Structure 1
């Protein structure tokens, strides 16, 4: 039953990625929703101090405007967390073999690369290696957390059976 839930989660993440990569920026933008949800531009002062180098540009509130900058942060956070979750799902679906961490990371890299390629086929969208790097950073962070959890759990079980 647990494997079925994880497989369904995998299907959901991949379907979500496919749908997202198929949409143009105009179909996907959350700026109008942000304008409704964040009237008065809360946290504008601290956010205006952030400058993020990305794709040869510096992304900031000054450069993009408040709502477009918040959208940028949300979109890049979605990359990080979605591919982190995907890596964790790959990890849990793989048999308990020695290199499953690296296999899950490689499978996530392939998925991230395929996602960027698919996005490049969508009008008005651009594929970037920076997004693959961001995807992989999320994947590696999640995989490290999962690996630590598995190791801790394994050590905890060993100490209970020995004690």
Structure 2
């Protein structure tokens, strides 16, 4: 009984966070081209300013602006990847307590991420100044698969540590 309550709690928390993530993704996708571009520019500029401060180089504003322009595209793509990596992790949290770890579970999660990414890009077709891009669907799906992989690896490490503890306890009792 206690184990089922834990499973339910993990799934519910993951599901709530997943819904919030979908709302965030939908809000970003709903921004028109100008709004989305200005947000990306602002984040890129902050990254360039941070790099300038860390390096101690005291760049001119022109150099900072050039660096920000250089960073903008990779930062946008990293944001896509990260959002969907979180989605892969949360989907694992929703379904893992109820399903065995196997290829079907992994395929289900990656497929879910792929469909979600496709729906997001389709949505952008109807937003002024935005467009849908299959390359972003692929990138998002890779992000989701990466998030899933992180969860699988962490679970494997935890399982091994528990087994080592059990083995040590058996040695001590013998």
Is 1:79 the counterpart of 2:84 in the alignment?
A: no
Q: Could you state the TM-score of these two structures normalised by the residue count of structure 2?
A: 0.71
1:9-34 per-residue CA deviation (whole Å, 9 max, x = no partner) reads: 10111001111111112112222464
Larger Rg: 2
2-structure distance, mates of 1:101, 1:87: 9
Q: Secondary structure at the match of 1:124?
A: coil
Q: Secondary structure at the match of 1:121?
A: coil
1:61-117 per-residue CA deviation (whole Å, 9 max, x = no partner) reads: xxxx54333221211100001001101111110122232111111110110010000
Moved more, 31-40 or 109-118: 31-40
Mapping for residues 95-114 of structure 1, pairs under 5 Å: 95-97=98-100, 98=102, 99-114=104-119
RMSD: 2.6
Moved more, 26-35 or 103-112: 26-35
Residue among 153, 159, 168 paired with 1:148: 153
- Return the offset for 1:123: 1.1
Q: Which has more helix, going by share of residues?
A: 2
2-structure distance, mates of 1:75, 1:103: 26
Mapping for residues 21-36 of structure 1, pairs under 5 Å: 21-28=29-36, 29-30=38-39, 31-32=41-42, 34-35=44-45
- What residue in structure 2 maps to residue 4 of structure 1? 12
Does the aligned pair in 1 maintain the 2:44–2:75 contact within 8 Å? Answer: no
1-structure distance, mates of 2:165, 2:33: 53
Q: Which runs of 5+ in 1 are unaligned?
A: 44-64
Q: Could you state the TM-score of these two structures normalised by the residue count of structure 1?
A: 0.75
Does the aligned pair in 1 maintain the 2:121–2:132 contact within 8 Å? Answer: yes
Closer/same/farther in 2, CA of residues 93 and 33 from structure 1, 3 Å limit: closer
1:29-62 per-residue CA deviation (whole Å, 9 max, x = no partner) reads: 222464467459849xxxxxxxxxxxxxxxxxxx
